[in-house]
Chain A
Amino acid sequence: MRYGASNTAEAVNSAFLFIFITCVALLALITCLMIAFVIKYHHSRHTQVVNIKGNAALEVIWTVIPTILVLIMFYYGVAGFRVMRVGPANAFQVHVTGRMWSWLFTYKNGIQSDTLKIPVDTTIKTVISSQDVLHSFFIPAFRIKQDAVPGRENHLYFKAYRVGSYDVMCAEFCGLRHAYMLSKVEVMPKQAFFDWYAKNKPKELPKVKPGASRTAQLAARGAQLVQLKGCTTCHSADGSKKVGPSFKGLYGSMVTVATRGKTRTVTADDAYLRRSILEPGADVVKGHLNIMPSQKGLLTDEEAESLIAHIAGLKGGKAEQ
């Protein structure tokens, strides 16, 4: 008999149910005794106090019974935990990457997605990591959570029971847009999932061929990269205000920045954009916080070039900020 949206939800719910009922019973016992004693032995009714200093039998009983109860709770907790930590070798593997402030899901065949698409009734092994600071991959409906830690891979197994769409949240505080670091799990029928999986072989990023339209080719790559690398979480392409400055009309414009605390005005040329991507703290644009994570080591030279070409292409018209 399955209850809950996944095998993990089932395990957590049953452990929780036992502990919850025990706790409610204990709380009710203590509270009722307190109220009963306060009424019965209120000084208006009871003045002949009896100085009972202890009762060995009673004290042993109320030490032993809670000990047994908490050991049962411990067992339930470990049993449910095994469901999340131990899975079959042939589990379907997905890499989960946290970064400020979006999730990236990478499949074995190279597909990358910003929502987690998975087949129903299949054990999924998530391999969880982070590009920058701590995040925590949290699917409330499945009752699972695992920190995304830079420099290490954490594992979590689960099997979804029902087709549907469920929330993904970040549960470990990660800075300004922590509350917006959300995504979805799409649990799909097996057939539909594997169709999608086969058809969506990762589009090879267009190779840069030598020729006159090199800039155009780079810009086309850049347009894909801003999605994939999560740039658009904070930077708009249409001039609307987000956490970071908009890309629209940025290239070639005069930007007021703070460099080591001193305000100056610079032209947003290639060198400036490259520096802003690789060392975002070097020149902080006025009106914005110094919060962008450095992309040094996360981008190849060519990718940085592509991003700059893409931004340069979004020149058209002055931004309306």
Chain B
Amino acid sequence: MTAAVIAAAPREPSYLAYRGRYSGILGWIFSLDHKRIGVMYLIAQAVFFLVGASLGVTMRLQLMRPDNHLVQPQVYNALFTLHGVIMIFLFVIPSLSASFGNFFLPILIGAKDVSFPKLNLMSWYLFMIGAVVALMSLFTGNGPPDTGWTFYVPYSIRTSTNVVMGLTGVFIIGFSSILTGLNFITTVHRLRAPGMSWFRMPLFVWALYATAWIQVLATPILGITLALVVVERLAGVGIFDPAKGGDPILYQHLFWIYSHPAVYIMILPAMGAITEIIPTFSHRTIFGYKAIAMSSMAIALLGSLVWGHHMFVSGQSDVADITFSLLTFLVAIPSAVKVFNWTATLYKGSIVLEAPMLYALSFIFLFSIGGLTGLMQGALAVDVHLHDTAFIVGHFHYVMFGGTGFGFFAALHYWFPKMFGRSYSDKVARLAWGILFVGFNTLYFPFLILGWLGMPRRYYTYSFPQFASLEMLSTVGSWILVTGILLMVGNFLHAALKGARAEDNPWGGVTLDWKIPSPPPLENFEQIPVITQGPYDGFEGQAPR
């Protein structure tokens, strides 16, 4: 350890050690440094994830047996609403974009910070204020919202629970997302290092760039929609409630015009991180750079045109159903292209199976299941049966947890040594991965079968004997999964406090993040680098340790 300290001595102080105008906690919450802001997002998201996961585990306990009454029905309805709201708006929408994006976007393009550092800090504040408001709906008014995270009208207008407060929270969080997107777009356009042309940008940056456009273009629609629900609840204006002359299908259109692209806000950055990890641990260049970059943009574009596939049985016209089904199948193609490119990148590489790579490979497997089950739902006739059943819940968790969640864990294992300058135990990390992977599939695969058998979602309890054994299996899976999560969290906490000092480039990566110290100095680069080659060209002749 002392050797490392001495070696580090002549360097600039790291962003963790740097002392500005404020110190202690104030030095963080008033910091304009993109890395500190990224870490603050990371901590907030991790906390929300653990809260959301506990709610999920409680739901599994309730569904463990038929005719179970562990919690009251009203409590269960609040549980799945809060689990959804917290996981979606406070964990997977900011996902890797807010945390790892903030930290690594400037570094990967050779910049000192994002374009608007103050706006960046404000985005974090908006996120936290929105989160607090959303969570306050738990303890105030007539109890927590019980509408599901979709807030479908007319129920959301008629229920007496604290829907307005919850919506206000989500509305505020939306602004955080829009402003972060704006910041990232400007940063990518204006702050790339000399020589870094568009096609020399790392693919994580491409993914963040595509995501940022969806954030800027789609999020305002959600804001307006939720504001209209609030207006309808408080002022009684008939926009969505048919009893007042409104149209409930209109609400579904507006909600999904945002919330379907939002799924790509959630998954694209994770795909980007996977695209960084696979070449590094295969020690070779990425296969099909341009195809991956363009597929990110294609997903962002096509993904904005498929929202109606959430409404095949809502009563929208058959023409709309057929059109949306076709577009939905088309958006599958760029995702498939990415999967093939990742797999091809393994070919003739020199593969090291450390924790980040295990997470990345399992991401491909789990995301493939998520994507392929999506095809089943994209087909009109099949979706009529599967819609609003446990199958959807299973599909969604394969994409969002198996995809974004495992992508998040992959990124965390990949960049943790860079971000905090500490090493975690690879042995424990791999063990935790194994438990997580087994637990995940035990928990969510039964959902797919249950849905095909006809188990609807959002059911407080059930008397049908045909569901009992699979529900039980799924609950056991949740216990395994939680064990894995706790082990992983413990491993990181131990590393943060007592971990050995990390090398600057522990994995042999070639992008700019691995060419600066761990943890990075305040301004990332002593001198802005000049880029002369593609992002994954540095592997030539390099053999793994």
Contact = CB atoms under 8 A, between A and B. Distances in A.
13 contacts: A15-B379, A16-B379, A30-B365, A49-B542, A62-B336, A78-B380, A80-B379, A133-B154, A149-B249, A150-B242, A167-B464, A171-B457, A179-B456
Contact of A176 (B73, B158, B372): B73
B352 A43 contact: yes
Closest A-B pairs by Cβ, 5 of them: A140-B454, A80-B381, A77-B379, A151-B242, A37-B346
Given A30-B339, A66-B332, A77-B380, A53 B248 contact: no
Interface stretch (A68-76, A91-99, A271-279): A68-76
A109 to B, nearest CB: 26
A52 to B, nearest CB: 6
A100 B542 CA distance: 67
Contacts of B544: 43, 47
Contacts of B373: 23
A149 B247 CA distance: 9
B260 to A, nearest CB: 18
Contacts of A81: 318, 321-322, 380-381, 384
B376 A140 contact: no
A196 interface: no
Interface in B40-73: 73
B368 interface: yes
Given A49-B539, A67-B333, A169 B456 contact: yes
A147 B382 contact: no
B356 to A, nearest CB: 14
Interface in B286-337: 286-291, 313-315, 318, 321-322, 325-326, 329-330, 332-333, 336-337
Nearest to A35: B361
A145 B456 CA distance: 11
Contact of A80 (B153, B380, B537): B380
Contacts of A34: 343, 346, 361, 364-365
A74 B353 contact: no
B368 A136 contact: no
Nearest to A53: B285
A167 B467 CA distance: 13
B370 to A, nearest CB: 11
A171 B378 contact: no
B129 interface: no
A173 B152 contact: yes
Contacts of B365: 27, 30-31, 34
A204 to B, nearest CB: 30
Given A33-B343, A136-B313, A19 B376 contact: yes
B318 to A, nearest CB: 6
Interface of A: 8, 11-12, 15-16, 19-20, 23, 26-27, 30-31, 33-34, 37-38, 41-43, 46-55, 58-59, 62-63, 66-67, 70-71, 73-74, 76-81, 83-85, 132-134, 136, 138, 140-141, 143-147, 149-152, 154, 167, 169-179, 281, 289-291, 293
B122 interface: no
A138 B152 contact: no
A46 B351 CA distance: 8
A38 B350 CA distance: 9
B535 to A, nearest CB: 12
A58 B344 CA distance: 10
Nearest to A23: B372
Interface string B352-394: 1100000001001100110011011011111111011100000
B513 to A, nearest CB: 20
Contacts of B364: 30, 34
A11 B459 CA distance: 27
B299 to A, nearest CB: 14
Nearest to B241: A150
Nearest to A42: B351
B384 A37 contact: no
A150 B243 contact: yes
B378 A77 contact: yes
A62 B285 contact: no
B326 A74 contact: yes
A43 B350 contact: yes
Given A51-B540, A74-B325, A138-B454, A291 B350 contact: no
Contact of A77 (B155, B325, B340, B539): B325
A224 B77 CA distance: 32
Contacts of A150: 154, 242-243, 248
Interface in B448-468: 453-454, 456-462, 464
A281 B243 CA distance: 16
Contacts of A78: 322, 325, 380-381
A49 B348 CA distance: 6
Contacts of B453: 140
A70 B458 contact: no
B159 interface: yes
B351 A54 contact: no
Given A46-B348, A59-B340, 13 more contacts: A8-B384, A11-B381, A33-B343, A37-B347, A54-B289, A80-B382, A133-B154, A136-B313, A140-B454, A145-B388, A152-B315, A154-B315, A179-B458
Given A16-B382, A73-B379, A152-B315, A38 B361 contact: yes
B144 to A, nearest CB: 13
